[in-house]
């Protein structure tokens, strides 16, 4: 009888792999929790410190501010980009125009290039994501790990932190998702990016999700950017000032 008849080697490796996976999953979940807590803390601190600026905005004084944006296109299991960078442009341009016209905010790239395609295939967990509680739960798992590993860094203690938009294959039951102040990233799916929902024929979902990331909740008016289905792109004075009060929207 040969020794390897006995071989617990495969079992042992499987066992240690499982233990390794468990600790790596636990590490990612903890990292997700720490980052969400940090984001909430810095968001609250920035909003509190920005209170005078908010009040000044509400009386109509709104010097220009900046928002740093990165848009990352995922690749599927076969390495194919889900969209071309050119096809993403109209939605990004709409976001730039809306925030420029209505909030006096310049949307800038992080570094030289705003829209990039990620170099490698994304995990299925990040290609197909949920929203609301699902998105929150997924932020502690493989999807959140992938988004955290790839989202843009920058700013200081949360101030001037860029917002990263991930172009994914599907946001289940929706076309885009944001966890608001909990995360520095939002997701928008290919169907949403192909849907010309704004009156001028450009997709508005990207601007809508970025506005959620900067603290804006939904609104009932179909002319408003924050109405979930559109087609509006308008923002009211409260929305403008609350958007400008986000830690993502800054003077520096
Ligand atoms: Zn929404």
Q: What is the pLDDT of residues 16-65, one digit of tens each?
A: 677 777 778 888 888 889 888 988 899 999 999 999 999 999 999 999 99
DSSP category for residue 234:
B
Q: Is 50 exceeded by the pLDDT of residue 1?
A: no
Calculate how far, in angstroms, residue 212's C-alpha sits from the geometric centre of ligand 1: 7
Calculate how far, in angstroms, residue 104's C-alpha sits from the geometric centre of ligand 1: 22
Calculate how far, in angstroms, residue 208's C-alpha sits from the geometric centre of ligand 1: 6
Within a domain: residue 25?
Answer: no
Calculate how far, in angstroms, residue 147's C-alpha sits from the geometric centre of ligand 1: 19
Calculate how far, in angstroms, residue 61's C-alpha sits from the geometric centre of ligand 1: 28
Calculate how far, in angstroms, residue 42's C-alpha sits from the geometric centre of ligand 1: 22
Q: Which pLDDT does position 6 carry in this prediction? A: 55
Q: Which domain holds residue 43?
A: 35-250
**Count of Cβ atoms closer than 10 Å to residue 167 Cβ:** 26
∠ CA 68-73-77, rounded to 5°: 150
Burial of 136 (0-12, 13-18, 19+ CB in 10 A): middle
pLDDT in tens, 108-137: 999 989 999 999 999 999 999 999 999 999
Calculate how far, in angstroms, residue 159's C-alpha sits from the geometric centre of ligand 1: 24
Calculate how far, in angstroms, residue 3's C-alpha sits from the geometric centre of ligand 1: 62
Phi, psi of 222 (to 5 degrees): -60, -15
Q: Is 90 exceeded by the pLDDT of residue 210?
A: yes
Query: Which CATH number belongs to the domain containing residue 43 in this structure?
Result: 3.40.390.10
Q: Which pLDDT does position 12 carry in this prediction? A: 65
Tokens (6 digits) for 156? 């200081």
- Domain count of the fold of the chain: 1
Within a domain: residue 26?
Answer: no
Alpha-carbon span 168 to 76, nearest angstrom: 9
Within a domain: residue 2?
Answer: no
Q: What integer is the mean pLDDT of 146-154?
A: 94
Within a domain: residue 144?
Answer: yes
pTM: 0.90
Alpha-carbon span 204 to 166, nearest angstrom: 15
Alpha-carbon span 240 to 161, nearest angstrom: 19
Q: What integer is the mean pLDDT of 214-238?
A: 94
Within a domain: residue 225?
Answer: yes
Calculate how far, in angstroms, residue 222's C-alpha sits from the geometric centre of ligand 1: 12
Alpha-carbon span 103 to 194, nearest angstrom: 26
Within a domain: residue 220?
Answer: yes
Q: What integer is the mean pLDDT of 153-178?
A: 94
Within a domain: residue 83?
Answer: yes
Alpha-carbon span 166 to 11, nearest angstrom: 38
Calculate how far, in angstroms, residue 10's C-alpha sits from the geometric centre of ligand 1: 48
Calculate how far, in angstroms, residue 218's C-alpha sits from the geometric centre of ligand 1: 6
Within a domain: residue 6?
Answer: no
Calculate how far, in angstroms, residue 85's C-alpha sits from the geometric centre of ligand 1: 23
Half-sphere exposure of 86 (CA within 13 A, CB side): 0
């Amino acid at each position: 009888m040969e020794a390897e008849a006995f071989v617990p080697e495969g079992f042992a490796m499987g066992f240690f792999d499982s233990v390794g996976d468990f600790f790596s999953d636990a590490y990612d979940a903890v990292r997700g929790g720490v980052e969400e807590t940090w984001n909430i803390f810095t968001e609250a601190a920035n909003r509190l410190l920005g209170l005078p600026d908010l009040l000044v905005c509400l009386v109509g004084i709104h010097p220009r501010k900046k928002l740093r944006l990165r848009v990352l296109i995922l690749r599927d299991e076969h390495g194919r980009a889900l969209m071309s960078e050119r096809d993403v442009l109209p939605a990004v341009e709409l976001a730039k125009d809306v925030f420029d016209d209505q909030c006096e905010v310049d949307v800038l790239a992080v570094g030289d290039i705003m829209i990039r395609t990620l170099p490698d295939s994304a995990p299925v967990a990040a290609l197909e994501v949920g929203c609301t509680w699902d998105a929150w739960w997924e932020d502690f798992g493989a999807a959140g790990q992938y988004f955290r590993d790839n989202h843009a860094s920058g700013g200081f203690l949360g101030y001037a932190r860029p917002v990263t938009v991930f172009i994914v294959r599907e946001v289940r039951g929706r076309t885009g998702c944001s966890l608001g102040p909990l995360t520095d990233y939002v997701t928008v799916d290919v169907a949403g990016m192909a849907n010309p929902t704004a009156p001028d024929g450009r997709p508005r979902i990207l601007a809508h999700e970025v506005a959620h990331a900067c603290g804006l909740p939904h609104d009932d008016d179909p002319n408003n950017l924050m109405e979930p289905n559109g087609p509006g792109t308008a923002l009211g004075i409260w929305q403008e000032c609350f958007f400008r009060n986000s830690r993502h929207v800054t003077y520096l």
